[in-house]
Amino acid sequence: MAKSTMAIRVAVVSLTVFFLLVTVTARVFPIHISNIYDTSNYGFLQIDNGLARTPQMGWSTWNFFACNINETVIKETADALISTGLASLGYNYVNIDDCWSRLTRNLKGEMVPDPKTFPSGIKALADYVHSKGLKLGVYSDAGAFTCQVRPGSLFHEKNDAELWASWGIDYLKYDNCFNLGLPPQKRYPPMRDALNATGRTIFYALCEWGVDDPALWAGKIGNSWRTTEDINDTWASMKTIADINNKWASYAGPGGWNDPDMLEVGNGGMNYHEYKGHFSIWALMKAPLIIGCDVRNITAEALEILSNKDVIAVDQDPLGVQGRRVYASGPDGCQQVWAGPLSENRLAMVLWNRCSKAATITAKWGAIGLEPSVSVSVRDLWKHEVVSENTVGSFTARVDAHGCEMYILTPQRASRASI
């Protein structure tokens, strides 16, 4: 009874904070929140862990290593997150994806770490990661098997959650393979309840691939939910996934986020301009920032992108409103303006050139939600400088092919109608 009462109190506080945020924003920021940056579909959480007030940040094994993982890779990556300074910027989850366990459970029905690749066990690895001030994540599946045919957790939720909690696990990515045709709305809640029951705070990341539109229901289950299929390290994949995730912008908020999958920055399949756009749009969309490259051997270029404090701050802004595409022009709509409100009466904006040639892109105040008479200062987040002190009506910039420019607009005065 006490736990139920506490859960109700937490829910009431969360609701109150959310409505206060929306109300205050609508009153003082000269943007038509209800028309352009609608958050009315945001689902109020039932997962009782207090996490994800901003999108999660960290690193995962899958995009670079796939199944070629072992405990040395995990330890060295934890060390590299510290030495590169990435950990100090908020990348604090070290997540092991598929292939960490043996092909079968033991006689007690428990998952067992692969003795060849994780001979010290996952608890010892968690202790090591924790000693660095970081957090450890594991992977499982809401099906009979994982995607790489290791044991899944369907019908084993209670025992698996208790085992992970005993190891000191901080994060669970929960996949969707071999799901026996059962609806995800039935398969994912039992793990939420099992994680809550352990008494350990464990981030719950649903990986349902957007098959059954999880934005419509997952806010009542987990801290984030995949809205798309797996990303791959190509320009075509990245921009397609951004467009799909954009559709669900009104459903994200503090405690639960749309997840367009992990970052490919640094893996070599895109150029500098494309990776810069990838990182900028993910940050604007309040997506989880999960690094997917080999941090131990990260290039200076990739580190520069992933370490951009100004862009990270947009992703981690406490207002928690997902930015979205607000305007497109040019051939096939390849000249795009994306924007979203921030705390402290500010607006984040990305001019994204998806054309094959450099282009001049203009953002008009009406299109991004500002009143035409509002004067703003414009800070360039990649140049790290203010490029205009008092701009009224619109802003224009030349953008490289497949490139982007990202800005924060701070109103110099608020119109009376918006106060």
Active-site positions read: 175, 230
CA distance 289 to 281: 11
How many residues are given for the chain? Answer: 419
Burial 166-204 (b: 16+ CB within 10 A, else e): ebbbbbbbbbbbebeeeebeebbbbbbebbbebebebbb
Phi (first) and psi of residue 165, to 5 degrees: -60, -40
Residues 203, 53: contact at Cβ < 8 Å?
A: no
CA 299 vs. chain centroid, Å, equals 23
- Per DSSP, the residues of 367-417 read HHTB-TT-EEEEEETTTTEEEEEEEESEEEEEE-TT-EEEEEEEESS--GG
Q: What is the largest CA-CA distance in the chain?
A: 71
CA distance 342 to 202: 28
Residue 372: burial class (beta carbons within 10 Å; 0-12, 13-18, 19+): exposed
Residue 385: burial class (beta carbons within 10 Å; 0-12, 13-18, 19+): exposed
* Measured CA distances, 219 to 145, 225, 254, 255 (Å): 25, 8, 10, 8
Phi (first) and psi of residue 214, to 5 degrees: -60, -20
CA distance 19 to 12: 11
CA distance 170 to 293: 21
Residue type, 102: R
Phi (first) and psi of residue 174, to 5 degrees: -120, 110
Which is nearest to 79 in space by CA: 35, 37, 132, 125? 132
Phi (first) and psi of residue 396, to 5 degrees: -130, 140
